[in-house]
Amino acid sequence: MARYAQIVGWGMYVPSEILTNDDLASVVDTSDDWIRARTGIVERRIAAPKETTATMAIRAAQAALRVANANPTRLDLIIVATATPDYPFPATACLVQDALGATKAGAFDLSAGCTSFVYALAVGSQMIISGAYDQVLVIGAETLSRIVNWTDRNTCVLFGDGAGAVLLQASAVPGGVLSAVLGADGSGGDLLMLPAGGSRHPASAETVAQGLHYVQMNGREIFRFATRVTARATRQALDEADVNLEDISLFISHQANGRIIQSAAKSLKLPPEKVFVNLDRYGNTSSASVPIALCEAIEQDRVKRDDHLVMVGFGAGLTWAAVVVKWGVPLPVPRPPRWTVVWRRARYRWAAVRSYLHRLGRRILSALIGLFVRNNGSG
């Protein structure tokens, strides 16, 4: 029997602190007019000191599970799409897995620059369509404010923090993720990069002094690349899905620059009502931008059952990707009964206790082994 990967849950989280263009103009040589005119961005969210990519990913994931009324212990796989993980390792997805109490799920991070979420959606849906898994949680989460040089006006005005998540579920109902096109051109890797902190330039006092732990970008080249690939990848994904351009109900592009989105929409001859834009309020949240946009589109009643959506991303790598989704869930989704909310909260508390007990158990065991070895060694 044919299997389909339907999006059955979605959720987002953005930090509460807002940084406006005027705020930025008081720290670097820029202006609200310049940023609005060149990017379309008006404000962005900035993570609080205690917030990280994992904490935001967890909030978005919990919201997605709530919408789907899904049990985290039944998740098969968690993919966190991010360029700003909490650590190089362990994967941020493992931190999310632990916090959700997703005891049977595999977990890994996926890194494809700002395209990571669309890549992850392609990977997650294929895991389902192939029959390997039934439920895959795909999260895009970023804390870009931690890797931006706040004295570099070329980059610091562009980015923001946040997270979005979708729950993919196996279904016999035709639809869901119909096609995916992934692309890469590593020859452009130097156009957008974080030079230090990897094996090429391990973090050192020198790399920090040279600011190599900050995002470096050739904005003009990235702009040209993005306008080229966005429409092309969209057309390819539509061809693969056998869906006509006119049948797209909503075009959800990576929210990097309003002019890039407009240029793609113009090339695809899409009217403004079919193009979703929210970068004015969040800036470029990299891997989080597409799922956050999807959540807001649903909230604004711009998605209906059987609609065809295109989600398209581009970014560091260089990478690009597009997926076509036939929406399968009737909207709005009824609110889950109150007891399920309480039950889910209790589950997350239990997941935290369970995690603590595991760590404590490991510490006690290793102390006992140490004691045993010392006693036997001295005896």
The residues of the shown chain that bind ligand COA, judged by CB under 6 A, are 30, 34-35, 38-39, 114, 153-154, 157, 192, 217, 219-220, 222-223, 226, 256-257, 284, 315
With CA atoms as reference, report the closest residue to 14 among 275, 285, 216: 285
Q: Of 153 and 326, which has the nearer Cβ to ligand COA?
A: 153
| Distance between CA atoms of residues 139 and 64, nearest Å | 10
Q: Of 177 and 226, which has the nearer Cβ to ligand COA?
A: 226
173, 330 contact by CB (below 8 A): no
At closest approach, how far in Å is the CB of 187 from ligand COA? 16
Q: Of 61 and 229, which has the nearer Cβ to ligand COA?
A: 229
- CA angle, residues 70, 6, 345, in degrees to nearest 5: 15
* Count of Cβ atoms closer than 10 Å to residue 31 Cβ: 14
Q: Which residues of 325-361 are buried (b: 16+ CB within 10 A; e: fewer)?
A: bbbbbeeeeeeeeeeeeeebeebbeebeeeeeeeeee
Q: Of 8 and 288, which has the nearer Cβ to ligand COA?
A: 288
Active site residues: 114, 254, 284
Q: Of 106 and 219, which has the nearer Cβ to ligand COA?
A: 219
Instruction: Write out the two tokens for 14.
Output: 């953005």
At closest approach, how far in Å is the CB of 223 from ligand COA? 4
At closest approach, how far in Å is the CB of 111 from ligand COA? 13
Q: Of 114 and 182, which has the nearer Cβ to ligand COA?
A: 114
Residues in contact with 250: Cβ distance below 8 Å, sequence separation at least 6, in sequence order: 274, 275, 276, 297, 302, 303, 307, 309, 310
DSSP 316: T
| Distance between CA atoms of residues 150 and 148, nearest Å | 6
Residues in contact with 337: Cβ distance below 8 Å, sequence separation at least 6, in sequence order: none
Length of the chain counted residue by residue? 379
DSSP 104: T
Residues in contact with 352: Cβ distance below 8 Å, sequence separation at least 6, in sequence order: 99
At closest approach, how far in Å is the CB of 313 from ligand COA? 8
Which residue is closest to ligand COA by CB? Answer: 219
At closest approach, how far in Å is the CB of 69 from ligand COA? 34
With CA atoms as reference, report the closest residue to 136 among 111, 171, 161: 171
At closest approach, how far in Å is the CB of 225 from ligand COA? 8
